[in-house]
């Protein structure tokens, strides 16, 4: 991988250069950032205290070494006897446990058995919210969501569920549009509820809302009794 190679090049080139150019700079002297065992002015940390990970951070146009107790998101920790480093996850992984095991995926990919896939296998659905493959309902081989099955197992048949709607509500009061303050023309609406949504192969729902034009009734004039 490229990141460990860059780390070792940086480490070997600068290992003998201190902040004052005379040698290693021990953190005990207060010259290095926290967690650094050795460091240099232009490159930051060169090596870390035990149990810490060496991580390269972008500082403007250059990279600086830092020492962290846990690797940032998008990286995983690699321990070795010489230097423990933070390595970058695969391109489609948002976070990972190791080079070959993702824990979260970027948008457009779905987690399945530690890998980020562009689509899910049969029997699983692509959950865009969790960005992972989740199980379809029992007996469903391919689903749009857990509640909507697109294809059943070979030994089962899809039950056609047709849409059912309730009755219409009363017409709403006649309302004038804001842009038509002078005219008495307006519109009123009514709706009806969906009692049972259809299955994939069932009859779709009919229109559940209607709008019609109306005339706003003139308010009666108030009679003032003296």
Please write the tens of the pLDDT for every residue from 187-224: 999 999 999 888 776 788 999 999 999 988 876 655 55
Which residues are paired to 145 by β-bridges? 148
Per-residue pLDDT reduced to its tens digit, 92-132: 999 999 999 999 999 999 999 999 999 998 878 888 878 99
For the stretch 147-179, pLDDT in tens is 677 777 777 776 778 899 999 999 999 988 766
How far apart are alpha carbons 168 and 29 in whole angstroms?
Answer: 81
Taking 3-state DSSP, the helix, strand and coil percentages for the chain, each rounded to the nearest 5, stand at 5, 40, 55
pLDDT over threshold 60, residue 40: yes
Minimal CA–CA distance to 11: which of 78, 85, 75, 61? 85
Take residue 108 and report the two structure tokens written for it.
Answer: 């457009």
Say if residue 60 is exposed, middle or buried (CB neighbours under 10 Å; 0-12, 13-18, 19+): exposed
d(CA 50, CA 35): 9
Residue 205 burial (CB count, 10 A): 16
Q: Are strands 148-152 and 101-105 parallel, antiparallel or unpaired?
A: unpaired
Half-sphere exposure of 224 (CA within 13 A, CB side): 1
Q: How many residues can be counted in the chain?
A: 226
* Angle, alpha carbons 97-11-25 (nearest 5°): 115
Q: How far apart are CA 47 and CA 135, in angstroms?
A: 46
User: 13-22 pLDDT, tens per residue?
Assistant: 444 444 444 3
Digit-coded pLDDT (tens) for 44-98: 999 999 999 999 988 788 889 999 999 999 999 999 888 899 999 999 999 999 9
Q: What are phi and psi of 86, to 5 degrees?
A: -100, 120
- Cα angle 103-129-106, degrees, rounded to a multiple of 5: 45
Q: Do residues 119 and 99 lie in contact, with contact meaning Cβ atoms separated by under 8 Å?
A: no
Please enumerate in sequence order all residues whose Cβ is within 8 A of that of 171, keeping only pairs 6 or more positions apart, or say none: 188, 189, 190, 212
Q: Which domains, and CATH codes, for the chain?
A: 2-88 (2.10.220.10), 93-152 (2.10.220.10), 164-209 (no CATH)
């Amino acid at each position: 991988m490229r990141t460990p190679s860059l780390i070792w090049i940086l480490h070997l080139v600068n290992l003998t250069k201190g902040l004052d150019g005379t040698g290693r700079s021990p953190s005990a002297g207060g010259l290095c950032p926290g967690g650094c065992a050795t460091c240099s002015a232009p490159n930051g940390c060169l090596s870390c205290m035990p149990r810490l990970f060496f991580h390269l951070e972008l500082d403007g146009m250059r990279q600086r070494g830092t020492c962290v107790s846990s690797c940032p998101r998008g990286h995983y920790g690699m321990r070795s006897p010489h230097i423990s480093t933070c390595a970058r996850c695969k391109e489609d992984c948002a976070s990972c446990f190791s080079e070959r095991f993702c824990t979260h995926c970027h948008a457009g990919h779905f987690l399945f058995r530690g890998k980020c896939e562009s689509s899910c296998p049969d029997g699983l659905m692509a959950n865009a919210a969790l960005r992972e493959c989740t199980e379809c309902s029992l007996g469903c081989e391919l689903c749009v969501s857990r509640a909507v099955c697109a294809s059943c197992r070979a030994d089962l048949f899809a039950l056609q569920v047709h849409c059912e709607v309730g009755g219409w509500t009363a017409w709403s009061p006649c309302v004038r549009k804001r842009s038509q303050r002078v005219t008495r023309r307006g519109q009123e609406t009514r709706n009806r509820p969906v009692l049972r949504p259809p299955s994939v192969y069932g009859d779709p729902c009919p229109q559940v809302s209607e709008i019609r034009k109306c005339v706003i009734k003139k308010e009666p004039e108030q009679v003032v009794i003296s």
